[in-house]
Amino acid sequence: MSGHPPVRTIQGTTRLYAVLGDPVAQVQAPALMNPVLAELHRDAVVVPVHARPQHLEAVVRGLQQVENLDGMFVTVPHKAAVRHLADRCGTTVDIVGSANVLRREADGTWLAENFDGSGFVAGLVGAGHEPRGSRAVLVGAGGAGSAIAAALLAAGVDRLGVYDTDTAKLTALAARLDGHWPGRVHTLSGPNPRDADLAVNATPLGLRADDPLPFPLDSLPPGCVVADIIMKPRETRLLREAAARGHRIHHGIHMLEGQLNSYRAFFDLR
């Protein structure tokens, strides 16, 4: 029908990419990547795969044996665990301790990399929120949060405060980051982003309508940018309430959009 996208034909020659998560209803990678594959006339498709944490290793090991599967995208809550299921890890993965993409190499081994952080910073800069020289607070030191922390420091953030309810995970991340950017990382005793130019939610809080706010908004200074990495819903409660208070907001989809060029290069989609 006129105005509708062409129907993709899945056939015996089609190459596969899987998106692993729990849940997966919110994932945006298929909607972002499948049009790219179609534009490049690639006989390939990106599909969501719902994998519970207790089944992750079995799912990944099974997918690694699927001969026409070329890669995997990884989302919440598997980014830290999946790195141990790859044969090799990129430098970013070693620094942040998590991965968000795996690629089958020519010899059949699997390489893990993480573009969450670079994508987040690219999205920030593209939206006019330059992080260099700023004071940032990041709530959530999980897979995506760890990558974002490293990327913000690499982008020139003067001071980065990080909080997570898992103190062991928080301490370990701060130690790894301090080895590369000494004196610029500070662990916080609570999710309180006062004195911040940029406040980032890197927790899953906001996926559900009844979730509490990941951090309070009443202590944010005027002009603070409030960013969320949750992509669906687009307007999380955090972003709605921050906008109502007059803060500039930054949507989660920008992090994925900022990774598009990295994905294209990583999977040789030129």
The active-site residue, picked from 33, 78, 79, 236, is 79
Predicted pLDDT at 9: 86
Residues contacting 151, CB < 8 A, separation 6+:
116, 117, 118, 120, 121
pLDDT value of position 1: 43
The pLDDT of residue 236: 97
| pLDDT value at residue 270 | 82
**pLDDT for res 3:** 54
Half-sphere exposure of 111 (CA within 13 A, CB side): 12
Token pair of 207 as six digits: 């996926």
Which residues of the chain carry a pLDDT beneath 50? 1-2
- 79 belongs to the catalytic site: yes
Supply angle C-alpha 139, 79, 147, rounded to 5: 50
pTM for the model stands at: 0.84
Closest CA to 19 of 46, 59, 52, 57: 46
Backbone angles phi, psi at 114, to 5 degrees: -135, 120
CB atoms inside a 10 Å sphere around CB 152:
27
Contact in structure between 234 and 251 (CB atoms under 8 Å): yes
Q: Which two tokens stand for residue 10?
A: 């899945």
Q: How far is it, in rounded angstroms, from Cα 130 to Cα 148?
A: 14
